Structure 1
Amino acid sequence: MAAVTRGSFSALRRLLSQQYRRRCFRLQNFRPERTLHTPLFTCDRNLQMFSSRTLHTAAVSRGPIVQFKLSDIGEGIMEVTVKEWYVKEGDKVSQFDSICEVQSDKASVTITSRYDGVIKKLYYDVDATALVGKPLVDIETESGSEVIQEEDVVETPAMAREEHTHQEIKGHKTQATPAVRRLAMENNIKLSEVVGTGKDGRILKEDILNFLAKQTGAILPPTPFQEIQTPAPAPAPAATRPMSTPAVTKPPPTTPKPVFTGKDVTEPLKGFHKAMVKTMSAALKIPHFGYCDEVDLSRLVALRAELRSVAEGRGIKLSYMPFFIKAASLGLLHFPILNASVDEGCQNITYKASHNIGLAMDTNQGLLVPNVKNVQLLSVFEIAQELNRLQALGSAGQLGTSDLTGGTFTLSNIGSIGGTYAKPVILPPEVAIGALGKIQVLPRFGAGGQVIPVHIMKVSWSADHRIIDGATMCRFSNLWREYLENPASMVLDLK
Structure 2
Amino acid sequence: MLEVKLHDIGEGMTEGEILHYLVKPGDEVKTDQPLVEVQTDKMVAELPSPAAGIVKEIIVEAGTTVQVGTTLLYIEAEGSAQAAPEQPKQPEEPSTAPVAEKQESRPFVSSFNRVLATPYTRKIARDHNIDIEQVLPSDPSGRVTEEDVYRFLEQKKAPAIAVAEKPAASTAPAASQPTEAPEEIPFRGLRKQIAKKMTKSLYTIPHVTHFDEVNMTNLMKLREELKVAGQSVSVTAFFVKALVIALKDFPIFNAELDEENEKILLKKNYNIGLAVDTEDGLIVAVVHDADKKSIKELHQDIKRLNEQARAGQLSSKDMKGSTFTISNVGPLGSTGATPIINYPETALVAFHKTKKVPIVNEQDEIVIGHMMNLSMSFDHRVADGGTAVAFTNRFAGLIEQPNTLMLEMI
1:127 is displaced (CA, Å) by: 3.7
Match of 1:484 among 379, 399, 403: 399
SS state of the match for residue 458, structure 1?
A: strand
1:322 is displaced (CA, Å) by: 0.7
Distance in 2 of aligned mates of 1:118 and 1:311: 56
Q: What does residue 293 of structure 1 align with?
A: 212
Q: What does residue 57 of structure 2 align with?
A: 121
Equivalent residue runs for 1:7-406 within 5 Å: 65-143=1-79, 262-263=181-182, 265=184, 267-308=186-227, 318-345=233-260, 347-406=262-321
Q: Identify which of structures 1 and 2 has the higher relative contact order when contacts are C-alpha pairs closer than 8 Å and 6+ apart.
A: 2
Q: CA RMSD for the aligned pairs?
A: 2.9
State the TM-score, normalized to the length of structure 1: 0.59
State the TM-score, normalized to the length of structure 2: 0.71
1:467 is displaced (CA, Å) by: 2.4
Distance in 2 of aligned mates of 1:123 and 1:272: 25
Q: What does residue 87 of structure 2 align with?
A: none
State whether residues 423 and 460 of structure 1, in contact with CA within 8 Å, keep that contact through their aligned partners in structure 2.
Answer: yes
Structure 2 unaligned regions, length at least 5? 82-112, 117-140, 142-150, 152-178
Distance in 2 of aligned mates of 1:329 and 1:469: 20
Whose helix proportion is higher, 1 or 2?
Answer: 1
Distance 1:125 1:307, change over 3 A: farther
State whether residues 108 and 399 of structure 1, in contact with CA within 8 Å, keep that contact through their aligned partners in structure 2.
Answer: no
- Percent of counterpart pairs with the same letter? 34
State whether residues 198 and 340 of structure 2, in contact with CA within 8 Å, keep that contact through their aligned partners in structure 1.
Answer: no
State whether residues 343 and 429 of structure 1, in contact with CA within 8 Å, keep that contact through their aligned partners in structure 2.
Answer: no
Give per-residue Cα distances to partners, 1:341-399, cap 9 Å, x unaligned: 11134720111111111111111121121221111101111111111221122111232
SS state of the match for residue 322, structure 1?
A: helix
Q: What does residue 373 of structure 2 align with?
A: 458
**Paired residue type of 1:433:** L
SS state of the match for residue 462, structure 1?
A: strand
1:310 is displaced (CA, Å) by: 6.2
**Paired residue type of 2:210:** Y
1:462 is displaced (CA, Å) by: 1.6
Distance in 2 of aligned mates of 1:363 and 1:468: 31
Distance 1:128 1:325, change over 3 A: same
Q: Which moved more, 1:450-459 or 1:118-127?
A: 118-127
**Paired residue type of 1:300:** L
State whether residues 21 and 35 of structure 2, in contact with CA within 8 Å, keep that contact through their aligned partners in structure 1.
Answer: yes
Distance in 2 of aligned mates of 1:421 and 1:294: 10
Distance in 2 of aligned mates of 1:111 and 1:467: 40
Distance in 1 of aligned mates of 2:240 and 2:68: 37
Distance 1:261 1:74, change over 3 A: farther
